[in-house]
């Protein structure tokens, strides 16, 4: 392991240990301070560009307050993520249930026995949707991008397994992730998939009026297995969380039309809660293609 990878691994390990032993109020304060520091000087340029697309303004018109709020939201996610294994999972599920809308769509799909694909953008605390599924339905199946170093990836796998998730690695697994997910969905399980096209093999969609690429996995899995494809959006509320599950995406029209429908649902949720969309990477083709 090279020094840089070792530093990343040790920093995450220290963060996990520190946040779990600190009182919640202290931990949240420390993460908030770190977010404020990251927001100085305008904050990450790609975040500002992404928010500009959401708001239909130029990056220069994105307020510093919104950038700071977005980074504070992202910091809250990591603080909660580090603390989740210490939290009472039943209470977490009950709290989310009390504020969520549309959970009946998940129950209805599970009752049909055909499996469920929950498609979520990186917004709010998306891990909580998995905790709810684990407590109310059964262990959700989650695809995990293989991080570097390998020891850090294993930490994230153990973390999510502690929450009751079954982890399928994006690369380096015993079988390709699509095959593993398909098998689990045919068993009537629930899979959680995100919106980032990490493989570069996504299909073009219109997203906030501009071309972007999104992964085909959610639509392909739904079509191949007969699973219901449900868009989900999570966001933060003062002292709690919000979550909405939309009705199933219509399978008519194939992968392209289904993925565009997902993009439209994602856009509606992100527009309603822009500060809680934790996207610091390029999403739109003009940004991704510009990266050397």
DSSP 187: T
Nearest to 124 by CA among 282, 34, 208, 244: 244
Q: How far is CA 263 from the centre of its chain?
A: 14
Question: Concatenated DSSP letters for 9-68?
Answer: HHHHHHHHHHHHHS-HHHHHHHHHHHHHHHHGGG--HHHHHHHHHHHTS-GGGS-HHHHH
Output the six-digit token pair for 291: 């990266």
Catalytic residue among 105, 122, 233, 278: 122
Identify whether the C-beta of residue 117 lies closer than 8 Å to the C-beta of residue 185.
Answer: yes
Active site residue 122: yes
Q: Return the residue matching tokens 């739109």.
A: 284
In 3D space, the residue among 103, 270, 284 whose CA is nearest the CA of residue 206 turns out to be 284
DSSP 136-161: HT-PPEEEE---SSHHHHHHHHHHHH
Q: Are the C-beta atoms of residues 100 and 211 closer than 8 Å to each other?
A: no
- Out of 195, 233, 273, 278, the active site residue is 195
Return the beta strands (E) in 149-195 as ranges.
Answer: 166-169, 190-194
- Which residues, listed in sequence order, are joined to residue 240 by a DSSP beta bridge? 237
Strand partners, 194: 120
Enzyme catalytic residues: 122, 195
């Amino acid at each position: 392991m090279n020094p840089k990878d070792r530093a990343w691994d040790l920093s995450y390990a220290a963060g996990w240990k520190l946040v779990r032993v600190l009182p919640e109020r202290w931990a949240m304060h420390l993460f908030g301070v770190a977010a404020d520091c990251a927001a100085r000087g305008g904050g990450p340029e790609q975040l500002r560009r992404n928010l500009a697309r959401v708001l239909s303004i130029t990056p220069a018109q994105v307020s510093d307050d919104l950038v700071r709020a977005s980074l504070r939201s992202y910091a809250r996610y990591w603080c909660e993520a580090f603390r989740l294994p210490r939290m009472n999972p039943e209470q977490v599920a009950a709290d989310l249930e009390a504020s969520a809308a549309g959970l009946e769509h998940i129950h209805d799909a599970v009752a049909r026995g055909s499996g469920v694909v929950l498609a979520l953008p990186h917004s709010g605390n998306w891990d909580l949707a998995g905790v709810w599924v684990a407590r109310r339905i059964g262990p959700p199946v989650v695809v995990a991008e293989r991080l570097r170093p390998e020891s850090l990836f294993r930490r994230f796998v153990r973390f999510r397994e502690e929450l009751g998730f079954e982890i399928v690695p994006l690369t380096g697994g015993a079988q390709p992730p699509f095959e593993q997910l398909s098998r689990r969905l045919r068993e009537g399980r629930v899979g959680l998939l995100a919106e980032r096209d990490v493989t570069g093999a996504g299909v073009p969609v219109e997203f906030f009026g501009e071309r972007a690429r999104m992964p085909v996995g959610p639509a392909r899995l739904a079509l191949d297995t007969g699973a219901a494809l449900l868009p989900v959006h999570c966001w933060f509320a003062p002292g709690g969380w919000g979550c909405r599950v939309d009705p199933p995406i219509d399978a008519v029209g194939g992968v392209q039309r289904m993925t565009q429908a997902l993009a439209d649902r994602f856009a509606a949720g992100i527009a309603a809660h822009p500060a809680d969309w934790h996207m610091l990477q390029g999403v739109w083709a003009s940004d991704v293609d510009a990266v050397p």
